[in-house]
């Protein structure tokens, strides 16, 4: 499935819709370059899960846990990890195979550690289509 968005609000809205539809134990990976809109999508997704807190990018903490929504939400940003070996220290495997919902930014960095049944989403820019254009591909 492919979606086109032309503003951060549209990407947020798509995330929100997928958050509304998310089910227990779901794991979603979110790929795309810096500034692609992964965090914007994640913020919409959190709203769709009925989380009221502000979602900030967990770039420095690797993971944020939100438990006030419809389902527990585990938001990962593994940009700073060289590989998946550090995941053990933060107990990530427990979250990957939990009753909550995981969203993982930069899954490429932890290849081999992401559950096989994860839903893959990729956000792509295309300079020829303008700076606000994004193609969002859902596997």
Q: Give me the residues that bind Mg ion (CB under 5 A), please.
A: 38-39, 57
Between CA 59 and CA 26 the distance in angstroms is 21
- 108 binding ligand ADP? (CB under 6 A): no
Element of type H or E holding 13: helix 8-21
Does 40 interact with ligand ADP (rule: CB under 6 A)? yes
Closer by beta carbon to ligand ADP, 8 or else 118: 8
Q: How far apart are the C-alpha atoms of 135 and 31, rounded to whole Å? A: 12
Nearer to ligand ADP, 7 or 85 (CB): 7
Among 16, 19, 39, 72, which residue sits at the site for ligand ADP (rule: CB under 6 A)?
A: 39
- Alpha carbons 101 and 79: distance in angstroms, whole number: 19
Cβ partners under 8 Å of residue 63, min gap 6: 74, 75, 76, 77, 90, 92, 95
Residue closest to Mg ion when measured from CB atoms: 39
Asked if residue 134 binds ligand ADP (CB under 6 A), the reply is yes
Binding site for ligand ADP (CB under 6 A): 5-8, 10-11, 32, 34-40, 57, 132, 134
């Amino acid at each position: 499935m492919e979606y086109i968005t032309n503003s951060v609000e549209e990407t947020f809205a798509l995330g929100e819709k997928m958050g509304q539809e998310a089910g227990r134990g779901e794991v979603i990976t979110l790929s795309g370059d810096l500034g692609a809109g992964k965090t914007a999508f994640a913020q919409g997704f959190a709203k769709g899960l009925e989380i009221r807190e502000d979602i900030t990018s967990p770039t420095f903490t690797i993971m944020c846990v939100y438990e006030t929504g419809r389902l527990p939400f585990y938001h990962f940003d593994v940009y700073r990890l060289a590989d998946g070996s550090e995941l053990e220290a933060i107990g990530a495997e427990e979250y990957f195979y939990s009753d909550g919902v995981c969203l993982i930014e930069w899954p490429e960095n932890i290849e081999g550690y992401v559950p096989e049944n994860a839903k893959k989403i990729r956000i792509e820019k295309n300079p020829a289509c303008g700076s606000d254009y994004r193609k969002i591909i859902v596997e």
